[in-house]
Structure 1
Amino acid sequence: MILVLLIFLLLLFIGVPVGFSLGISGIFYFLQHMELPLATVVQLPISQTQSVTLLAVPLFIFAGSLMNSSGITTRLIKLAMQLAGHMRGGMAQVSVVLSTLMGGCSGSSNADAAMEARILGPEMLKQKYPRGYTAVVIGFTSLITSTIPPGVGMILYGTVGEVSIGRLFSAGIMSGLIMMAAFMITVAITARFRKFPKAREHRASIKEIVLSLKDTIWALIFPIVLIGSLRMGLFTPSEVGAFACVYALIVGFFVYKEMTIKSLIATLKEAIRDIGGIMFMISMSAVFAYGIPMDQIPQKLTTLITGFTNSQFVVMGIVFFLYVIFGMFMDGSIVILLLTPILMPIVRTIGIDPVLFGVVTSIIVTMGILTPPVGIAMYIVNGILGVPMSEYLKESIPFFIVTILVGVLLLAIPDVILFLPNMLYGVAS
């Protein structure tokens, strides 16, 4: 597997797309072990995608695209402005609140970052926010979106790690709210020191907020409907994804009446492109990861780390480091697919709840979209706002530290995250 990993990193370094890098490097494992039938190379990508649970991934991606084109986004922006616009650094606070509200709609940090960079970014620049700070706030607050259900990363983690997706979704709600609070405090402190303006002079009245809540209720209740339907056994995760698509279509065509056949076709094209890229990487990861159990990598790594220390915090510090490094070079979905089977035995050995680990994994791995050299969201916001890389990296330091601290906090006080899944599903045995 060492040769496979080295070839994979070399292919990434020379600019080969991630999906092709995974497939090409994985083939070298079979070339090293000629006793393995080469026909397996063809079968693995197909078998990797033949999972009913994994069907939830393309369905939720499509549902998120539908939600964004249904008229929900504009209403959520209005609500976020009323809730946070009066604070110091108002537009930055609006970005935090909007990402939290968007969590129940798109589940995609990249989509949220792109949307906010186009809509909130110009207004923040107009109000004299530094370009780098604007890009960093919009980028890092988008991490909340993929933490609050329905996050694709949690679906992949639950599928690969054999962890209840219902528990992961319910745990994600509280973790998303904690991230929101942490980023709002960070923005409040930086805004006070740098004297950033408020977005609106006066706090919104109760009547204004209630009217906005009434207008956005279809978006706000979706995470609750999603978790409730899973808990009551009405739907499986895949069926919830299908329900989400139907729900978004009904809201777009019959409630807000902003979706048209033309916009639906455009949304379909966008979703097909995103789904195709993600599913190709998922299928190729099967070729790359085939040798991991064959060479007993999880068992060897568990023995190595637990032989060095049994401290949960030291072990998780090593895991954090691995996730940050891998996240710098690979898409978060691929990191979860590749590392979850390796790290899960370690997690169970040192007694960390797999649901808690899944939430922290989702946060730290997703942060890779905001770090060089292949951070997708980083390039999106910097490209849209015209931000030099040096300025972005300098402004990102406090938000990077806060994200890591949130992960540490969740591990230190697990009951804060686990009380909701334990209340809904019972304490895991």
Structure 2
Amino acid sequence: MTLVLVVFLVLVALGMPIAFAIGISGFLFFLAADLSLTIPAQVSLTQTQNFAILAIPLFILAGNCLNETGLTRRLLDFASSLTGHMRAGLGHVNAVSAFMMGGVTSSAIGDATMFGRILGPAMRERSYAPGFAAGVVGSSALITTMVPPGTGLILYGTLGEVSIGKLFVAGIVPGAVMTLLIMGAVGFTARRQNLPRERPTRGTPTEVLRTGLSSIWALLFPVILIVGLRFGVFTPSEAGAFAVAYALVVGLVVYREISWRKFRLALSNTIDDVGMIMLLIVLSGGWGYALSWDRVPQTIMEVLTGISENPTVIMAIIVIALLVAGMFMDSTVLILLLTTMLVPVAEMAGIDPIHFGIVMILTLTLGLLTPPVGIVMLITVQMFRTDVGTYLRQSVYLWLALALLVVLVIFVPQTVTWLPDLIYRPAGS
């Protein structure tokens, strides 16, 4: 396994695409271990035979279709009516919209790109410091990873054989807390920089009601998914199919804004997204087999228990390692590579796999905001024409808010487990 890791890191350092670096390094394991070369082909094929994985392309298609229905504009109007009167109102609108839109985009990178284009010009016009504006857009984009149906939650649940329905529910409270903490950091920074209000007065009850009703189909989307999964109306893959039908009905019948051209664009974007993810999934099969063959989870557990047997301490050590890994690699890649290795470790340590999953996904997605290769960071820095150093300095309170969230979900597991335990409680108990 050491050879696999070294070759992988060398190939990545040489600039090889991540998917091929994973595939080549994984294949070398079978050569080094003198195993049958039919196994890599079988393992790669097996990766695609998991029925639950159908949920990934279906949810991505549903999100792309919903993005073409005008829901984004309606959600922004609703968020503005709720929070636009605050100082740095655009920052608050960004955070609240990201929470409400998690079920629509399911992608932190997509969220950052979209909000940067929509809100960026207005932020510059209102003299937001460029590093702070980049930090607001970037940190708010992470909210979408916690709100169902986040792609990271589906990948973790599928690969780790953990209930996707419970993961969807478990992400809601951390997502809401993240939204509030980011809004607190935005408000504190706004007072220090004397940033203007987006609008002079609070939205009237009539305006809030009107914009809320206009956005109701986006707000109902994750609720319907959770209820359907909880009561067995559909499986995760069937929920994905329902999501696509839901998006098309909303676009064609309710808002009547989705055209043949927009639908083709949604399909094109979905093909790009799914192609990348599925190639990674297929080529990561060799890694999973190598981890099991070399008993890597058991070895990691022995090392960790040599340091401490306290589950919280073990969780904290793993989080530090994930934060470092997230600084150098994309979160999707790390979820694919590490889930099958770390879920058994968590279970052996007595950590709830639902709790561990939320902590793991949250920690890895923070890597999207960290140098040197955080994709969301690079996107927002480029959009606001600033540099990484300025971005880090002017976003310090946003970083403190995200750090507080990580500490909270690690040391107060109830922030993650309370809602799943409540909703999935057996009848009569």
Partner of 1:329: 328
Runs (5+) with no aligned partner, structure 2: none
Rounded Cα–Cα distance in structure 1 between residues aligned with 2:57 and 2:323: 26
Are residues 1:15 and 2:18 paired?
no
Task: Check whether the contact 2:327–2:371 (CA below 8 A) recurs between aligned residues.
Answer: yes
Rounded Cα–Cα distance in structure 1 between residues aligned with 2:346 and 2:401: 23
How many Å apart are 1:278 and its aligned residue? 1.1
- The amino acid of 2:132's aligned partner reads Y
Structure 2 matches for 1:146-225, cutoff 5 A? 146-225=145-224
Rounded Cα–Cα distance in structure 1 between residues aligned with 2:25 and 2:75: 44
Partner of 1:344: 343
Rounded Cα–Cα distance in structure 1 between residues aligned with 2:33 and 2:311: 36
Task: Check whether the contact 2:217–2:250 (CA below 8 A) recurs between aligned residues.
Answer: yes
Task: Check whether the contact 1:114–1:381 (CA below 8 A) recurs between aligned residues.
Answer: yes
SS of structure 1 residue aligned to 2:215: helix
Partner of 2:294: 295
Rounded Cα–Cα distance in structure 1 between residues aligned with 2:350 and 2:46: 32
Task: Check whether the contact 1:48–1:282 (CA below 8 A) recurs between aligned residues.
Answer: yes
Deviations 1:394-425 (A, max 9, x none): 33443333223212212222223322211211
How many Å apart are 1:69 and its aligned residue? 0.9
Task: Check whether the contact 2:70–2:257 (CA below 8 A) recurs between aligned residues.
Answer: yes
- The amino acid of 1:376's aligned partner reads I
Task: Pick which of 46-55 and 228-237 moved more.
Answer: 46-55
Partner of 1:359: 358
Structure 2 matches for 1:379-418, cutoff 5 A? 379-418=378-417
- The amino acid of 1:386's aligned partner reads R
Task: Check whether the contact 2:83–2:92 (CA below 8 A) recurs between aligned residues.
Answer: yes
Runs (5+) with no aligned partner, structure 1: none
Rounded Cα–Cα distance in structure 1 between residues aligned with 2:22 and 2:397: 33
Partner of 1:111: 110
- The amino acid of 1:409's aligned partner reads L
Partner of 1:126: 125
Rounded Cα–Cα distance in structure 1 between residues aligned with 2:414 and 2:287: 36
- The amino acid of 2:199's aligned partner reads R
Rounded Cα–Cα distance in structure 2 between residues aligned with 1:382 and 1:42: 41
Structure 2 matches for 1:217-366, cutoff 5 A? 217-366=216-365
Rounded Cα–Cα distance in structure 1 between residues aligned with 2:217 and 2:189: 34
Rounded Cα–Cα distance in structure 2 between residues aligned with 1:20 and 1:393: 32
Task: Pick which of 410-419 and 142-151 moved more.
Answer: 410-419
Rounded Cα–Cα distance in structure 2 between residues aligned with 1:269 and 1:44: 29
Rounded Cα–Cα distance in structure 2 between residues aligned with 1:199 and 1:115: 19
Task: Pick which of 227-236 and 319-328 moved more.
Answer: 319-328
Are residues 1:56 and 2:55 paired?
yes
Identity %: 43
SS of structure 2 residue aligned to 1:70: coil
Task: Pick which of 383-392 and 53-62 moved more.
Answer: 383-392
How many Å apart are 1:275 and its aligned residue? 0.8
Deviations 1:98-146 (A, max 9, x none): 1111112121111111100000011101100011111111011111111
Rounded Cα–Cα distance in structure 2 between residues aligned with 1:347 and 1:288: 19
Deviations 1:364-403 (A, max 9, x none): 1112222233322222222333222222233344333322
Rounded Cα–Cα distance in structure 2 between residues aligned with 1:311 and 1:403: 24
Q: Label 1:155 to 1:390 Cα distance change in 2 as closer, same or farther (>3 A).
A: same
Rounded Cα–Cα distance in structure 2 between residues aligned with 1:312 and 1:196: 44
Structure 2 matches for 1:46-85, cutoff 5 A? 46-85=45-84
How many Å apart are 1:160 and its aligned residue? 1.6
Between the two proteins, the alignment pairs up a number of residues equal to 428
- The amino acid of 2:124's aligned partner reads L
Partner of 1:25: 25
Partner of 1:42: 41
SS of structure 1 residue aligned to 2:305: helix
Task: Check whether the contact 1:364–1:404 (CA below 8 A) recurs between aligned residues.
Answer: no
- The amino acid of 1:3's aligned partner reads L
Task: Check whether the contact 1:8–1:25 (CA below 8 A) recurs between aligned residues.
Answer: yes
RMSD: 1.7
Runs of 4+ deviating beyond 6 Å: none
Partner of 1:141: 140
Rounded Cα–Cα distance in structure 1 between residues aligned with 2:425 and 2:258: 40
Rounded Cα–Cα distance in structure 2 between residues aligned with 1:58 and 1:128: 40
SS of structure 2 residue aligned to 1:269: helix
Deviations 1:5-54 (A, max 9, x none): 111111112211110110111122122112x1112222322211211111
Deviations 1:72-94 (A, max 9, x none): 00000111111111111111111
Task: Check whether the contact 2:189–2:397 (CA below 8 A) recurs between aligned residues.
Answer: no
- The amino acid of 1:415's aligned partner reads Q
Rounded Cα–Cα distance in structure 2 between residues aligned with 1:320 and 1:398: 21
- The amino acid of 1:249's aligned partner reads L
Rounded Cα–Cα distance in structure 2 between residues aligned with 1:289 and 1:196: 50
Task: Pick which of 100-109 and 374-383 moved more.
Answer: 374-383
- The amino acid of 1:16's aligned partner reads M
Rounded Cα–Cα distance in structure 1 between residues aligned with 2:107 and 2:51: 21
Task: Check whether the contact 1:160–1:337 (CA below 8 A) recurs between aligned residues.
Answer: yes
Deviations 1:320-351 (A, max 9, x none): 11211222222212212222222223322332
Task: Check whether the contact 1:12–1:329 (CA below 8 A) recurs between aligned residues.
Answer: no
TM-score by length of 1: 0.96
